[in-house]
Amino acid sequence: MSLFSRSRGLLHIWMGFALIMAAPTRVFSSTQPDRAPSVSMAEPAIHKGKVEVEVFDTEEILAVSLAKYIADLSEKYTKERGRFTVVLSGGSLIDSLRKLLEAPYVHSVDWSKWQVFWLDERVVGLDSEDSNYKLAYDGFLSKVPIPPGNVHAINGRLGAEGAAKEAAVDYEARLKHLVHTKVIDEHHPAGSPIFHLNLMGMGPDGHVASLFPEHPQLHEKHRWITFVTDSPKPPPKRITMTFPVINSSANIAMVVTGTEQAHAVSVALGKANSPHVLPVQMVRPAPGELTWFLDKAAASQL
C-alpha cells in the first residue's frame, strides 16, 4: 500500500497508528490498531495515549473543525463536571480560535463555565505586546463572556518586574489552590492537575510551550511550573507548564500550520529523524487523547 493516497481530492496519510486526513471524519486511531495498514517506517515517539492526526486543505477549514472540536468538549465537560478547564498558548493559536467567535458557537457555548489558564507566559507586564495574556485577551477573551474571575493569568506585578522564578512559584501555588478547591480536577495518585483541554502550538524547532530543545527544563519531574531565563527567542524570561502537567491533560490539541513547521511535524510523527529528541515528541498524554490539527503546508513532509 502506498504511504500516500488520494480520495475525492482529500489527502490521506497512513501512519501505522492513525490516519491523517483532510476532512474532519475520523477513520481510525491509535486505539484501533487492527485497522491500521502495515507500513515500514520509524515508530512515532507519541504513542502512549490515543492519537489522532488530521490534515486540512486550508487553515480556514482547520479553524472550522477546531471550533467544533472545542465546542463539543466544552459541552461534554460542562455537563459532566460543571466546568471546562482550558489551557491557552500564544503564537498563531489564538487566531485559529476565531471561528468560536461566530455563530453558532459564540451563542451556544456556555462561556460562564470556562476556566482559562496559560500553557506558558512571557515574564512581562500583562499590557505588554509580548504578553500571551494580552494576545489572548485582544483576539479572543475580550469577545466572549467568560467571567473575569475565571481567567487565570500570570501575576501582573511579578511579570512587570521580570521576576521569572517568583512568577513560576506564584502560578504553581495558584494552580495547587484551585486543585484543592476542586476548580481543577486532580490526577490520582500523581496529584497533578488535569486540564480538560490543552491547546498547543509548536515552533519550527519543535518546541512546545516554553520548553526548548536541549534545555534542562525538559526533564523537570516535580514542579508544575518552571521558569526560563534564556529563551532562544525573545523575550528571554518565561514561565511554562512542565511535561508532567502537560501530559496529565485529558485532551491536547496540537495546532500547527505553515511550511516552517513541516520538518518538525515529520520528526514528531515518525517520518524523519532528528539528532536529538524534540520537545514536541515528549507530548504523551496518558490516558488522555492527543489530536493533531495540521494544514497541508504543515503536513507537506509527511
pLDDT digits (tens, 9 = 90+) for 175-191: 999 999 999 999 877 78
DSSP assignment string, the chain: --SEEEETTEEEEE-SS-EE-SSS-----TT-GGGSPP--SPPPS--SSEEEEEEESSHHHHHHHHHHHHHHHHHHHHHHHS-EEEEE--TTHHHHTGGGGSTTHHHHS-GGGEEEEESEEESS-TTSTT-HHHHHHHHTGGGS---GGGB----HHHHHHT-HHHHHHHHHHHHHHHHHTTSSEE-TTT--EE-SEEEE---TTS-BTTB-TT-GGGG--S-SEEEES--SSSSS-EEEE-HHHHTT-SEEEEEE-SGGGHHHHHHHTTSS--SS--GGGG---SSSEEEEEEETTTTTT-
> In sequence order, which residues have a C-beta less than 8 Å from that of residue 161 and are 6 or more positions away?
none
Q: Mean of the per-residue pLDDT values for the chain?
A: 86
pLDDT digits (tens, 9 = 90+) for 106-143: 999 999 999 999 999 999 999 999 999 999 999 999 99
Side chain identity at residue 280, one-letter code: V
pLDDT digits (tens, 9 = 90+) for 154-167: 999 999 999 999 99
Q: pTM (2 decimals)?
A: 0.85
pLDDT digits (tens, 9 = 90+) for 263-300: 999 999 988 888 889 999 999 998 899 999 999 999 99
Q: What architecture is domain 4-295?
A: 3-Layer(aba) Sandwich (3.40)
